Structure 1
Amino acid sequence: MTSGSIMRRINGEKFGRWSLRLDAAYCTVLGAAVALFAGRIAEGVALPALLIAAAGVAVVVWAGGIVWMLARLPLRSALRLVMVANLVAAIAVGFASATAATLLIVLAVVTVAIDIALFATSQAVALRALPVRG
């Protein structure tokens, strides 16, 4: 099966909307957990707890932004914006792993970076599966 035939089988509209909804849910849970456990997280990385808590709150706010974009923007625009933000976030989180004190914490932070990159990939797949505007 070629990638072209796989892309024809994916409903870009449904896949894109689900990708954004799941991304928003993930951001809500992850951001809230980071904000709530900022003190503990700060013990494992060389970053201030206040910075970590602010990042967690920002991620929750971003989740609301994704929901807003899904409701107000054309799907193609929302997917592009969120995909680019996810790529930037994956890189930033990956670099943050360099501040981790132990290998286990490095692996945990890199895992989050990979999760974020996978959301960006799902949004790219949805964009590619959307019908070309005529």
Structure 2
Amino acid sequence: MAKINGEKLGRWSLRLDAAYCAVLGGAVALTAAPMAQVVALPEAVLLAAGAVVVGWAGLVLWLLARVPLRSALRLVMAVNVLAAAVVAAASATSATVLVVAAILAIAIDVALFATSQAVALRALPAPTAG
């Protein structure tokens, strides 16, 4: 089995995570009104959540450019674990099984990003002392 390049995987994971967040956050913000009726959350909450997710996408890219990769991966992975739990819990407010399934799929996507970031962290060379 080929050795995983932790740096390459980590950078790709963060880039894809940022793109996913930008698209998902924008979609949530733009469809907040109709979505509010389906998921039984206030439109303002959905609009704010979408805006925060788009802002997070920008922060992930900033971290990738300015912070040591190991630190960026740890932070983004931790936020992804928290976000996956919050999104999964939010699925409980949904009115239909199809909507619950769609929201849980998003939670799984976010959890998979966290997993890819954990794999990248493990594959990075150990930090040198000194």
TM-score by length of 2: 0.96
Map Cα deviations across residues 78-103 of structure 1 (whole Å, 9 max, x no partner): 00000000000000000000000000
Match of residue 77 from structure 1: 71
Which contiguous aligned blocks of 4+ residues in structure 1 show a shift greater than 6 angstroms? none
CA distance in 2, matches of 1:42, 1:115: 22
Shift, 1:75, TM fit: 0.1
**Comparing 43-52 with 84-93, which one deviates more in the overlay?**
43-52
Map Cα deviations across residues 102-128 of structure 1 (whole Å, 9 max, x no partner): 000000000000000000000000000
Match of residue 25 from structure 2: 31
CA distance in 1, matches of 2:33, 2:112: 28
Map Cα deviations across residues 9-37 of structure 1 (whole Å, 9 max, x no partner): 11000000000000000000000000000
Match of residue 123 from structure 1: 117
Q: Quick one: which amino acid aligns to residue 65 of structure 1?
A: L
Match of residue 106 from structure 1: 100
Match of residue 97 from structure 1: 91
Q: Quick one: which amino acid aligns to residue 18 of structure 1?
A: W
Ranges in structure 2 where 5+ consecutive residues have no aligned partner: none
Map Cα deviations across residues 33-67 of structure 1 (whole Å, 9 max, x no partner): 00000111111111001110110000000000000
CA distance in 1, matches of 2:103, 2:34: 14
CA distance in 2, matches of 1:103, 1:43: 15
Shift, 1:133, TM fit: 1.2
Match of residue 45 from structure 2: 51
TM-score by length of 1: 0.94
Q: How many residues align?
A: 128
CA distance in 1, matches of 2:37, 2:98: 13
2:11 to 17, 20, 29: 17
Match of residue 87 from structure 1: 81
